[in-house]
Structure 1
Amino acid sequence: MTGAPLLSKGRYRARLAEGAGDLARARALRTLAFETPEHDGDRFDGICSHVLVEDPRTGTLVCCFRMLTLEGGADVARSYSAQFYGLSALESYAGRMVEMGRFCIHPEWRDPDILRVAWGAMTAYVDREGIEMLFGCSSFAGTETERYLDAFAVLKSRHLAPKRWLPRVKAPDVFRFASKLRRKPDMKQAMLRMPPLLRTYLMMGGWVSDHAVVDRKMNTLHVFTGLEIGDIPPARKKLLRSVVG
């Protein structure tokens, strides 16, 4: 049996996972994509909905992510991100929220349509559930900051969170790029180094924390990322809904 369908577009199908078998497949893909020494999984898997993007012709799982739906900011302390960021500023947020996490694409699949379908599936879910904000941790591979300085400089100059929502430092090991960087970014290098998921968030009007968390367990640097659905430019909304439609 398969979970509820969210979207079918071109050669790919997105659906909600159902049962232990689907969750095991998602965890296996995450382990492969994140190159973790141990099988990837945590306590949040049991309270999240999981989206699978598959190629039905071969049965291959090409992308997955998980979603934690919150009724509002009062529940934000339940999120995965709250382990790493001080999110008290978001506690006053009144609308429904979804934390998107553990997003990954199969390392052997390079088709840009996979990301489009994944975002289309998210759009379908957001529309269906009346979600007003997406948030999560956007990850850069590795824990060395040097190769990402241009990307961080762009985040500092163009994409910092509004002060009313700005996450505070909570993790013990962070890179405070907003206060430390004094450089004019090379835009080409910045875009090359920017993770595709984060790039998509930013194109839709998303914003980030003023620091990156150094997560040595996952071997990543990550920034808190938020996106208010009402702030997505009309042209971008039209693009997303064209995938859903």
Structure 2
Amino acid sequence: MIRNLPEQKAQIFEGHATGNLLGQISTLQVRLAESAGEIEKAQSIRYDVFYREFGAHASPSCQASGLDQDLFDDHCDHLVVLDTEIAGSSEDQIVGTYRLMRKEHAQSAGGYYSAGEFAIASLMTRHKDRNFLELGRSCVLPQYRSKRTIELLWQGIWAYSQRYKIDVMLGCASFFGTVPAAHAEALSFLHHHARTDTSWHIAPVPGRHVSMDLMPEEAINMKKALNSLPPLIKGYLRLGAKFGEGAVIDHEFNTIDVMVVLPIENISGRYKAYYGENAERFAA
């Protein structure tokens, strides 16, 4: 997701940023959704990407509505990217989204989304003094899948994290398809070279564990493995994230899910300096 720093950094407006705005690059803005209509547009984009483009299996209610929605949506913040050059309403301008779930959101929703796949409760109990943020439902329309858009999403997440004093980001990230062997080299790379240490260990819930140890370490072609990682996972890795023990097959979404754990202190200094440049203004 992040290969190099972008040619054009996210720029702030003249004066102090206010409200839900979290960043801007050229005509693209990132902010929190401000209305039910904007959240619905984000859900519509999620449906187009997850179900129409990548073959997730929609329930009858999702098919009827054309929206990817669940019980967590009403309790979360929704990060949206808007292209202000598009004529029309703010809903028409939304081209990407990310769902953000803080501790208070999880408490009101009855838990975190990823707890259905990974045993995150034990991890949070071990780090009960840390403020966690769950990231999920990330998607961008095909024509906007560029370095610039991804950088802007991370600008927004970083400013949001500073605003709410987040200590740890975590969430599921996915490989497409439900056959682990098709991603043997990439999954084995994460298992051997990017696993969480003991203090941050996390594994799938009982009955859902799928091994990521599909190849011996010495058989992995490092360059090939890195190139075959999905962009989102590659981006997390470059920021300093580690990955839990084992994967989970999500038949509904047609994916193999891995758990990302990213303590803020593990984010590389290069990216902290880059994202922190404007974050204080947007985090206010």
Provide TM-score, normalisation by structure 1: 0.90
Aligned to 1:44: 72
| Counterpart residue identity of residue 56, structure 1 | T
Shift in alpha-carbon separation, 1:9–1:109, aligned structure 2, 3 A: closer
Alpha-carbon shift at residue 121 of structure 1 (Å): 0.3
Residue deviations 1:26-74, cap 9 Å, x none? 1000011112333311101011000000111115322101111116x99
Aligned to 1:27: 43
Deviates more, 1:20-29 or 1:90-99: 90-99
Alignment partner for residue 205 of structure 2, among 138, 154, 170? 170
Q: Secondary structure at the match of 2:133?
A: strand
Aligned to 1:101: 136
Distance in 1 separating the partners of 2:170 and 2:109: 10
Equivalences for 1:39-188 in 2 at 5 Å?
A: 39-58=67-86, 59-70=92-103, 78-87=111-120, 88-93=122-127, 94-170=129-205, 172-178=207-213, 180-183=214-217, 184-188=219-223
Higher strand share: 1
Deviates more, 1:12-21 or 1:231-240: 231-240
* 8 A contact 2:28–2:84 mirrored in 1: yes
Shift in alpha-carbon separation, 1:19–1:175, aligned structure 2, 3 A: same
* 8 A contact 1:150–1:186 mirrored in 2: yes
Distance in 1 separating the partners of 2:208 and 2:266: 31
Shift in alpha-carbon separation, 1:77–1:233, aligned structure 2, 3 A: farther
* 8 A contact 2:98–2:135 mirrored in 1: yes
Q: Secondary structure at the match of 1:168?
A: coil
Shift in alpha-carbon separation, 1:26–1:240, aligned structure 2, 3 A: same
Percent identity over the alignment is 27
| Counterpart residue identity of residue 32, structure 1 | D
Superposition RMSD in Å:
2.4
Alpha-carbon shift at residue 190 of structure 1 (Å): 1.6
Alpha-carbon shift at residue 242 of structure 1 (Å): 4.2
Gaps of 5+ in 2: 1-18, 87-91
Higher RCO, 1 vs 2 (CA within 8 Å, ≥6 residues apart)? 2
Alignment partner for residue 251 of structure 2, among 184, 195, 216? 216
Shift in alpha-carbon separation, 1:181–1:90, aligned structure 2, 3 A: farther
Higher alpha-carbon Rg: 2
Provide TM-score, normalisation by structure 2: 0.78
| Counterpart residue identity of residue 102, structure 2 | T
Alpha-carbon shift at residue 241 of structure 1 (Å): 2.6
* 8 A contact 2:75–2:108 mirrored in 1: no
Alpha-carbon shift at residue 171 of structure 1 (Å): 5.4
Residue deviations 1:4-35, cap 9 Å, x none? 21111222100101221011101000011112
Deviates more, 1:32-41 or 1:129-138: 32-41
Residue deviations 1:176-225, cap 9 Å, x none? 113x4324222232223212121111112111111110000011111011
Shift in alpha-carbon separation, 1:74–1:165, aligned structure 2, 3 A: farther
| Counterpart residue identity of residue 239, structure 1 | Y
Alpha-carbon shift at residue 77 of structure 1 (Å): 7.6
Distance in 1 separating the partners of 2:107 and 2:34: 28
Distance in 2 separating the partners of 1:148 and 1:224: 16
1:8 aligns with 2:24: yes
Alignment partner for residue 241 of structure 2, among 189, 206, 231? 206
* 8 A contact 1:75–1:91 mirrored in 2: no
Distance in 1 separating the partners of 2:278 and 2:172: 24
Distance in 1 separating the partners of 2:108 and 2:240: 24
Distance in 1 separating the partners of 2:196 and 2:100: 21
